[in-house]
Structure 1
Amino acid sequence: MASIESNPRGIPKAPFIEKVEDYISGSTEETLQKFQETISKYKFMENSLLGRQKSLNSKLPEIKKTLQMVDLLIAQNEAGSALETDYELSDTLFASAKIEAAKTVYLWLGANVMLEYPIEEARLLLATKLNQATLSLSQVEEDLEFLRDQVTTMEVNMARVYNWDVKQRKQQGVASKA
């Protein structure tokens, strides 16, 4: 059994049809329909990845900003100075705070869950999450590029099969007249 080529995350590679007559086993319409189904599958995967890309692009700045704040708290602790800041309580209400020798921070984990972490552990967690999100975003972008190439290949295949079919019908028409 021949293995199907795919990218590192298992998206199958579209075959390029060199000789249409060798590839078509049934009717041209069946072949074109299979190609259209394959293109639809690729488009579905592309839409899914675009949603994931959008999500990652919105999460990355939040993670970076939180990591910068934790780094600032660590730097203030090492310097032995207090950090004065204003923070948002609600949309129109702010309060002032003076932070001295912070030992722990609270991080939102999602789904209305917040946990308290020692400051060094929070920094490690955020740095890990940032690396994972950056890697995931690069993989999503790589997959999107791969999918675009596969859709183009399938569209070229469809055009080749269609043109071959037109040529065959034309030859049959000429042969039947002669």
Structure 2
Amino acid sequence: MFQFMKNVEKPPLGDRKSYMPIPEAKLIGEVERYIAQPEFFSDVQVTIKLQRIFYLQYSELAAKLEVDLTAILTRLDAAKNNLELVKKFMDNPGEEFQSLVQVTRGVFRWVTVLPVKKVTLQVGTALQMDFDLLEAEEFIKKDITSLVKQRLQHEHDIDFLQDQVNTIEMNLAVLYKHGLDKEKRVMEGGFTDLSSGS
């Protein structure tokens, strides 16, 4: 029944690396040259502060995407359940069903569902429409396909963000080491001015 889901592919990225506009983190190669850029005033602490800001931004965006992905997966499960139910109605035309319905919180009741020829589906935030069973099946399949694409996109971007976080962590490690080495050289040289990272 859900075989069609395996054929759903991630939409093409083109020349981008992520579906959302996520800036790519760059590994710091030559630390001295990097810190010597005018915006850092040759101060390793200023550079570390900027890398920490990037780290927080990437981490917050990844957390938001995780929440969005959870919502997509919940909707996908509901759509799959709806498709199974519509298929059950289609495979058993003219048949009545017994179903357990929640009357109020914690209170359930068995009801008889008369033969189903049409179903009402939610098609928007506040919009519902009646469909005959064949139309409902097609609509739900399109919805599932869209949700699978969204899931693939979110998973890709979460992986990309994890790579960016890893890059920033490596940059921070290099910058911390550079700062400690500078401090050690200053101490060994007998200087007392530790305000600069250079």
Q: Fold-level match, TM-score > 0.5?
A: yes
Aligned partner of residue 7 in structure 1, secondary structure: coil
Q: Is the 8 A contact 1:7 1:13 kept in 2?
A: no
Shift of 1:18: 1.7
Match of 1:99 in 2: 114
Q: Distance in 2 between matches of 1:57 and 1:120?
A: 24
Matches within 5 A, 1:60-79: 60-77=76-93
- The 2-side partners of 1:98 and 1:167 are apart by 76
1:31 aligns with 2:47: yes
Instruction: Kindly provide the amino acid, as one letter, of the partner of residue 77 in structure 2.
Output: P
Q: 2:32 aligns with which of 21, 38, 49?
A: 21
- Amino acid corresponding to residue 140 of structure 2 in structure 1: L
The reply to whether residue 50 of structure 1 matches residue 66 of structure 2 is yes
Alignment of 1:105-124 (within 5 A): 105-109=119-123, 111=125, 113-124=127-138
Amino acid at match of 1:29: Q
Q: Note the C-alpha offset of 1:31.
A: 0.6
> Which 5+ residue runs of structure 1 have no aligned equivalent?
none
Give runs of ≥4 in structure 1 deviating > 6 Å.
Answer: none
Instruction: Return 87-96 or 51-60, whichever deviates more.
Output: 87-96
Kept in 1, the 8 Å contact 2:101–2:111? The answer is no
Q: Which of the pair has the greater relative contact order for Cα pairs under 8 Å at 6+ separation?
A: 2
TM-score normalised by structure 2 residue count: 0.76
Task: Report SS of the residue matched to 1:90.
Answer: strand
What is the CA distance between 1:134 and its match in structure 2? 1.6
Question: Which residue does the alignment assign to 1:82?
Answer: 95
- Relative distance call for 1:89 and 1:155 in structure 2 (3 A) is closer
Distance 1:168 1:73, change over 3 A: same
C-alpha distance in 2, partners of 1:7/1:114? 34
Q: What is the CA RMSD across the aligned residues, in angstroms?
A: 2.1
Structure 1 length as normaliser, TM-score?
0.83
Identity rate, percent: 21
Structure 2 portions without partners, runs of 5+: 1-15, 192-198
Please state which structure has a larger fraction of its residues in helix.
1
* Equivalent residues in 2 for 1:158-173, closer than 5 Å: 158-173=172-187
Q: Which residue identity is paired with 1:97?
A: T
1:10 paired with 2:21, answer yes
Instruction: Report the count of equivalent residues.
Output: 169
Give the letter for the 1:66 counterpart. Answer: N
